[in-house]
Amino acid sequence: MSEEGPFVAAGDDDALRLPDSADLLKHLRFWPRDGRITLGDERMVLVHLGAMATLRRELIAAVGVARARAILTRMGYVSGQRDGEYARRIRGTASYYELFAAGPQLHALEGMVAVRPLEVQFDIERGHYRGEFAWRSSAEVEAHLESEGRAAEPVCWTMLGYASGFTTVFMGRPIVYREVACRACGARHCRIVGRPLGDDTPPPEFEFLATHPIARPGPGDPPAALARDDGPVIGHATGLRGAFALLARVAGSELPVLLEGEPGVGKRHLARAVHDRSRRAAGPFVVVRAGALDPAGLADALARARGGSLLLADLDRLSPELQDRLLHAFDAGDHDLRWLASTRVDLRRGGLVRDELVQRLGAFPVWVPPLRERREDIPLLLGRFLDQHARGLGRRLVGVTEAANNALLDHDYPGNVRELWGRIARAAVLVDDGAPIDRGHLFSGDEAPPARLELAPAGVLQPIGAAAGADLPGVDELIGALLDRRAGIDALEQALIRGAVDRAGGNLAAAARLLGLTRPQLAYRFRKTDG
């Protein structure tokens, strides 16, 4: 983040112009085969406006206008907060105004409203803020008109919540907006004004600010990590958080837990977390692969796990003879241990394991989703594994290139988290010191990415990568001219970088965005051309 003093701009001031939104758009992805849309590391959904109108009508009928308004405001607030955090990740190196502008831009990108800043003043250090915006084509006005008809009071509740949530994250203190004109009441367009909450009592629809102003996750949210003695199991995708919440609950009991999921999703890792959080944490944690077990091995494992936990990995591979013995041992109840098991296949189908055993060891089943169904977690895991490998190898790993990042997000991971770990381990060894990891360090040339669509600047969905490369108008002529002049790749790179920096008026973060690079990547290329 560049150093800046207070920001003040109003009216047609150039400083209020919204920057190019290509950097934000670039991370909106559509995975039609997996039934997913992601924006950065958040899962999104497309909702019909008509459905929003129905929800609004039902909510008002069920709990009254005031409560419905508070609920929708809170919902918008959470979206705004999450976008505020996303904006920090994407524009963390841009100017404060560009970072702030991501809020109005994301709100527009998500189809809610077109925003025109009328006046913006902020001084983050002093906590001063004033913002006034015109809203055109508000989705919420349309939803309200469809469900309730013309209104006597402003109706953009969810959207006010959004603006407040985003600005609160931006300023690091509660900011609350009011809607001073609304098209649902007959105004030409909606207009909102935001100010710090300060010591004032929040308006009723913002009552939640009094109890949890900035914190995320909210009080009912499941944890984003399950602590273990040797490093937490991480992930914030909803599916995984669901598993964390169940496991955190069951850990303190003596109930057997059955972890279900594909190879490498983290079942063993999670079983260890359950043990570490249990009353038996001080005891041993013993893991045996059921497929490789013989009667003596089973007896030995039962003895070693005394006072602690026993994880029977791949329960589906246990031989019929050992299934009988295990059932007997379980029912005898004379083994002082916590039973944990994992399986890669559904034990309720296929008759691989006796029903009696499934009923006992599978009393508390927890499904761990495959990585391709929680791609939002890839950036988080990538960061963790890069740190781990950097420490392990005693090397400086500076991150991954845009192409590598895209390839990592695209891949289907039949081997799940273990495969991701392995690919990064290999790349960490192959990459030159101080250089970013590229696609070729992670994938071989013949590994084709799965079908994924992205939003092209023209607003249409197209396969990833189709926007770049040979389809660009005039690119053939350009390549011809460069080759005729024997311009080397280095000279071309330098010229591109210089051109982008010039066009961005010397602003390196903006130049990096023009080039599709992060700022550190641009800085690295600069250093490379210098030396």
Ligand X SMILES: Nc1ncnc2c1ncn2[C@@H]1O[C@H](COP(=O)(O)OP(=O)(O)OP(=O)(O)O)[C@@H](O)[C@H]1O
Q: Which residues bind ligand X (CB under 6 A)?
A: 233-235, 261, 263-269, 313, 342, 344, 417-418, 421
Q: How far is the CB of 313 from ligand X (least distance, A)?
A: 5
Q: How far is the CB of 241 from ligand X (least distance, A)?
A: 11
Cα–Cα distance, 254 to 363 (Å, whole number) = 11
What residue number has its CB nearest to ligand X?
A: 266
Helix, strand, coil percentages, rounded to 5, for the chain: 50, 15, 35
Toward ligand X, which CB reaches closer, 209 or 237?
A: 237
Toward ligand X, which CB reaches closer, 216 or 418?
A: 418
| Of the candidates 439, 430, 487, 490, the residue with the CA atom closest to the CA atom of residue 465 | 439
Q: How far is the CB of 424 from ligand X (least distance, A)?
A: 11
Toward ligand X, which CB reaches closer, 378 or 407?
A: 378
Q: How far is the CB of 491 from ligand X (least distance, A)?
A: 43
Q: Are 196 and 121 in contact (CB under 8 A)?
A: no
Q: Report in angstroms the alpha-carbon separations of 329 from 285, 289, 360, 361.
A: 18, 17, 12, 12
Taking phi over 0 as left and psi of -120 to 50 as alpha, with beta for the rest, 409 belongs to alpha
Toward ligand X, which CB reaches closer, 383 or 499?
A: 383
Toward ligand X, which CB reaches closer, 92 or 383?
A: 383
Strand partners, 122: 7, 129
Q: How far is the CB of 368 from ligand X (least distance, A)?
A: 7
| Of the candidates 375, 434, 430, 433, the residue with the CA atom closest to the CA atom of residue 408 | 375
Q: Are 160 and 178 in contact (CB under 8 A)?
A: yes
Strands 225-226 and 233-234: antiparallel
Helix residue ranges, H only, 290-436: 295-304, 320-332, 355-361, 378-393, 402-410, 416-430
| Of the candidates 141, 146, 172, the residue with the CA atom closest to the CA atom of residue 158 | 141
Cα–Cα distance, 210 to 67 (Å, whole number) = 17
Toward ligand X, which CB reaches closer, 99 or 353?
A: 353
Q: How far is the CB of 221 from ligand X (least distance, A)?
A: 17
Q: How far is the CB of 268 from ligand X (least distance, A)?
A: 3
Q: How far is the CB of 163 from ligand X (least distance, A)?
A: 34
Toward ligand X, which CB reaches closer, 60 or 311?
A: 311
CB atoms within 10 A of CB 292: 10
CB atoms within 10 A of CB 223: 14
Toward ligand X, which CB reaches closer, 44 or 425?
A: 425
Cis ω on the peptide bond leading into residue 217 (within 30° of 0)? yes
Q: How far is the CB of 383 from ligand X (least distance, A)?
A: 11
Q: How far is the CB of 455 from ligand X (least distance, A)?
A: 29
Cα–Cα distance, 460 to 17 (Å, whole number) = 24
DSSP secondary structure of 343-368: ESS-TTSTT-S-HHHHHHHTSSEEE-
Strand partners, 341: 258, 312
